[in-house]
Homo-oligomer: A and B are copies of this chain.
Amino acid sequence: MLLRIDPASSVPLFEQLAASVRSEASRGNLRAGDRLPAARDVAGSLDINIHTALRAYQLLRDEGLVDLRRGRGAVVTDRVAHYSELGEAIPRLVASAKEIGVGVHTLTAMIRQEYGS
């Protein structure tokens, strides 16, 4: 489990942390039943506030990627399989967007638009 964040980035810390976990999931480095490190530990090693780490975990719980229970921590759910599926489709779209010079903001905005309709 390689969790990384960049304090200098404009992306919120909790989003970065959640993205880092998703990235592990989409690369197949996480399996259903695996347990993520305790929020307090993550906060300690990344030098962020516990609440910030918890918020990332809660975001992942809302997505359904992990179950969150007191005393037990964050446990990866079955849905992790879906993430590795997307882990193949997404790079293709991103690659073609980069080729034609469409930026990340534009791409995500177009996806939001398509998703909403």
Q: What is the interface of chain A, defined by CB distance below 8 A to chain B?
A: 11, 15, 18-19, 22-23, 26, 63-64, 79, 82-83, 85-86, 89-91, 93-94, 96-98, 100-116
| Contact residues in B for A82 (Cβ distance below 8 Å) | 100-102
Residue from the set A82, A91, A114 with the largest chain B CB neighbour count within 10 Å? A114
CB-CB nearest in chain B for A90: B114
Q: Which residues of the other chain, B, contact A112 by a CB distance below 8 angstroms? A: 11, 19, 104, 108
A103 to B79, CA, bound (A): 13
- Beyond the given A19-B109, A85-B96, could you list 20 further A-B residue pairs with CB under 8 A, ordered by the A residue number? A19-B110, A22-B106, A22-B109, A23-B113, A63-B102, A63-B103, A63-B106, A82-B100, A83-B102, A83-B110, A86-B97, A86-B100, A86-B102, A86-B107, A90-B93, A90-B110, A90-B114, A94-B111, A97-B115, A107-B115
